[in-house]
Amino acid sequence: MQESAQPGAGQQLDDSYPVPPDYYSLFTDDNLARLAAVGDEAALEDPELKCLLPPAPPEDGTYAGFGLLWQVHGRLPTLAEQNIPQLYPEGPVDRIAELKRLNRSVVFEFLDLVDVLVKDPSQFGARTARIRHVFINIHHLINEYRGHQAKETLKLMLRQQIDAKRQAAERTRAKCVELERAVERLRLEAAAAQAELCSQAAESSRTVCDEGAEGPIRPSLTQTGLDRILGTIDDLR
């Protein structure tokens, strides 16, 4: 097949709206059925079915994604790997002191650039390259703190979550104590209302017996209040 007939031939992967890859047309129902029938090992020998298998995950080095190269293990590349001269000593260094020194170097290099632009503007390229190298070294030293920053950020997030859960537990305990007190208060009120109701019932019975009256005793307002209190206790439970 000619390259011009392939969809997406020569298309960059970092376009805003990239076209589908060339092998998308191989994902047909027939090919998928064949893949399920023959298995992954046999499909490696078929050029059409081979494209249907997912690629093996990279184990080392770099991989391409969205037009960029990414490190598999997320390792910070050294300045030598980036072809940038290292402006601080090798090995363990005091990063804070080196950052301050490089910061002063930027000021000196900028003053040197201004002097060159006044005396010989054609030499500005070397000065701007030196300033660029200083800034890249500063950025590299700062990036070495990323692992420590990630750990401390995770610790802070966990502390915030623990504090929030503790505060929620304290609010729940305080609300439970408040509800227990309300229930106890309602129990006392119910007991007092029950005693008053029994007293009124006994008094009414004596009155009926004395007068010889017949018929049911009407519930008083105290009985209605008692029912309301008992209903409230059931709701709180």
Q: What is the pLDDT of residue 13?
A: 54
DSSP string over 111-148: HHHHHHHHH-GGGHHHHHHHHHHHHHHHHHHHHTTHHH
User: What single-letter DSSP state applies at residue 25?
Assistant: G
- Exposure pattern of 151-160 as b/e (b: 16+ CB <10 Å)? eeeeeeeeee
Helix (H, G, I), strand (E, B) or coil at 29: helix
d(CA 133, CA 115): 19
SS3 content of the chain, % helix, strand, coil (to 5): 65, 5, 30
The structural domains of the chain, with segments of one domain joined by +, span 3-71, 79-164, 176-237
The pLDDT assigned to 32 comes to: 84
Q: Give the pTM.
A: 0.48
Q: What is the pLDDT of residue 80?
A: 84
- The DSSP secondary-structure symbol of 46 reads S
**Which pLDDT belongs to residue 203?**
74
| pLDDT score at 227 | 62
* DSSP-derived secondary structure letter, 222: H
Q: Is the dihedral of CA 23, 74, 143, 109 positive or negative?
A: negative
| Residue 118 neighbours by CB distance under 10 Å | 8
Q: Along the 237 residues of the chain, how does pLDDT read in single tens digits?
A: 344 444 444 445 556 777 787 788 888 888 888 888 888 777 777 777 888 888 888 787 788 777 777 878 777 778 888 888 988 888 888 888 999 999 999 999 999 989 888 888 888 888 899 999 999 999 999 988 888 889 999 999 999 999 999 999 999 999 999 999 998 888 888 888 888 888 877 777 666 555 544 444 444 444 555 566 666 656 655
pLDDT score for 147: 84
If you search the block for the tokens 């009124």, which residue do you land on?
200
Assess contact for 99 and 141: CB atoms under 8 A. yes
CA of 163: how far to CAs of 38, 100, 159, in Å? 56, 37, 6
Question: Who's near 179: CB < 8 A, 6+ residues apart?
Answer: 236
Give the residue from 29, 139, 35 showing the smallest Cα distance to 88.
Answer: 139
Signed CA dihedral, 9, 12, 13, 18: sign only:
negative
Q: Residue 71 and residue 84: Cα distance in Å, rounded?
A: 18
What are residue 71's DSSP bridge partners? 62
